[in-house]
Amino acid sequence: MNIKIQRLNNVFVKEISQIIANDIKNDDIKFVTITACVISNDLSHAKVYFTVLDPTKQEITTKALNNANSFIRTMLANKVDIRHTPELTFIYDTSIEKGQRIETIIDKLN
């Protein structure tokens, strides 16, 4: 992955987080944390990984984010100077849960 894409990934995480916190009024999206963004090499797609404060609301939040997708993308286009804003795909980030599971297993071994 080249440096430009790495920088864009970081900028997208920051900007999407700010858009969700400041511009979206949907209560289903309020307690979302953007954990990572992975933009394709041709800059046409971006996978945006997120977590939710209440894991039981994962499906509702995913639907709400996908419904707000075009609004988030438009706001992102206004904030980030890039020729073509990638299509956004929101994916629930399970890495934190996996890390907790591994930590629990390690604790049981001790």
Question: Which percentage of the chain shows pLDDT scores above 70?
Answer: 99
Alpha carbon 18 to chain centroid, angstroms: 11
Domains of the chain by residue range: 3-109
pLDDT in tens, 77-105: 999 988 899 999 999 998 777 777 888 88
- Does residue 11 contact residue 20 with C-beta atoms inside 8 Å? no
Task: CATH number for 3-109: choose from 1.10.1240.10, 3.30.300.20, 3.40.50.720, 2.60.15.10.
Answer: 3.30.300.20
Instruction: Fill in the amino acid letter for 8.
Output: L
Query: Which position has the higher pLDDT, 46 or 96?
Result: 46
Predicted TM-score (pTM) of this structure:
0.85
29-66: string of b/e by CB count within 10 Å (b at 16+)? beebebbebebeeeeeebbbbbbbeeeeeeeebbebbe
Give the pLDDT of residue 28: 85
Whole-number average pLDDT of the chain? 90
Where is pLDDT greater, at 10 or 109?
Answer: 10
* Contact (Cβ atoms closer than 8 angstroms) between residue 7 and residue 20: no
Indicate if the alpha-carbon torsion angle 5, 43, 94, 14 is positive or negative.
positive
What whole-number distance in Å separates Cα of residue 9 and Cα of residue 36?
A: 7
Asked if residues 50 and 92 have their Cβ atoms less than 8 Å apart, the reply is yes
Query: Residue 1 pLDDT > 70, yes or no?
Result: no
